[in-house]
Amino acid sequence: MGIKLSQLVDHFSGGTPQPVVGFGTDEQKARMLPPLIRGEHRSCFGVTEPDAGLDTTHISTFARRREDGGYVVNGRKVWTSTAQRADHILLVTRTTPIEDCERPTDGMSVFYTDFDRSKIDVHEIAKMGRKAVDSNAIFIDGLEVPEEDRIGAEGEGFKVLLHGLNAERIIVAAAAVGFGMYVLEKAAAYARERVVFGRPIGQNQAIQHPLASVWMRLQAAELMTYKAATLYDQGKPCGLEANTARNLAGSAAYEAAFRAVRTHGGFGFAQEYHVERYFRESVLNFIAPVSEELILSYVAEKALGMPKSY
């Protein structure tokens, strides 16, 4: 269908449907993607589980094949964004127990299917930030999924999933860059206007230098984000670039928010100027959708040839 990453961002706030783009049949693409792009469907992403965390190969949600066709899914997911209002879900399950697989990454399957609330119980998670988007624990009991909603071959879901995870990292990196630039401008504007000891505080190098450093870090993160997105849209390997962009952008956004609070001084602690809220929001960049530590381990392995540590 010739759909690029940028076309799918607005209407899939719970993740990315790139697995459908990369591995879906022509029929699936025609049926699943246009309603998402038009905003007629809202979807969520069910991959993380409370007992597995980032170790996705050890998820326990299971899709059992029925004799008369299709699957029945049972299990639970956590941190499923937008599940309060979603009508579809991109769902990662096991279709073969891990102990019966030659490799841990075998035996997983991906489905894009209806979010049947008669079979899925949704509980919102209270959290310290990102309150514009609901995050949820979901409990799946007897969800029936037709075979035509499986994306890719049965048992090859890990490969399908990775196609979407790289896109997710690029999208999150781009959002972090935009967030960081906005917060940085808030800090710079305050520094230009706030007068202490008869001069703008922005005239002091102790204010200038940290903000200038953040600006440079954000520029570097933006360039890496563009590089990763370009490689992705060209169908080339981009795991290193996507994860690097995610890490650079996330840490720069956090530093921008931290410096914004310090630039505002005592008012940085007040809700009136909003920078305390931006600081709280920025902490998520070290945790989701993948931790900084796991990114560094991945880069050490893939870029530097070091032994795998996870």
Q: Is the pLDDT of residue 276 over 80?
A: yes
CATH number belonging to the domain at 5-154, selected among 3.40.50.150, 3.40.50.12780, 2.40.110.10, 3.40.50.1110: 2.40.110.10
Query: What does the domain layout of the chain look like in residue ranges?
Result: 5-154, 160-304
C-beta of residue 66 within 8 angstroms of C-beta of residue 77:
no
Q: Report residue 6's pLDDT band, with 50, 70 and 90 as the boundaries.
A: very low
Q: Is the pLDDT of residue 104 over 90?
A: yes
Q: Report residue 164's pLDDT band, with 50, 70 and 90 as the boundaries.
A: confident
Q: Is the pLDDT of residue 8 over 80?
A: no
What is the Cα 163 distance to its own chain's centre? 13
pLDDT in tens, 114-156: 999 999 999 999 999 988 899 999 999 999 999 999 999 999 9
Share of the chain above pLDDT 90, in %: 86
Q: Is the pLDDT of residue 101 over 90?
A: yes
**Rounded-to-integer distance, Cα 277 and Cα 266, Å:** 14
C-beta of residue 77 within 8 angstroms of C-beta of residue 47:
yes
Indicate if the alpha-carbon torsion angle 86, 87, 90, 91 is positive or negative: positive
- What is the residue-averaged pLDDT of the chain? 93
- Closest C-alpha among 279, 210, 222, 209 to residue 248: 222
C-beta of residue 58 within 8 angstroms of C-beta of residue 104:
yes
pLDDT in tens, 217-260: 999 999 999 999 999 999 899 999 999 999 999 999 999 999 99
Q: Report residue 7's pLDDT band, with 50, 70 and 90 as the boundaries.
A: very low
Under CATH, which architecture does the 160-304 domain have? Answer: Up-down Bundle (1.20)
What is the value of pTM for the model shown? 0.86
Give the burial class of 50: count Cβ atoms within 10 A of its Cβ; 0-12 exposed, 13-18 middle, 19 or more buried: exposed
**Rounded-to-integer distance, Cα 141 and Cα 76, Å:** 9
Phi first, then psi: give them for residue 128, nearest 5 degrees. -80, -20
Q: In this predicted model, which residue has the larger pLDDT, 150 or 18?
A: 150
Say what the alpha-carbon torsion angle 194, 195, 201, 203 is, to the nearest 10 degrees: 120
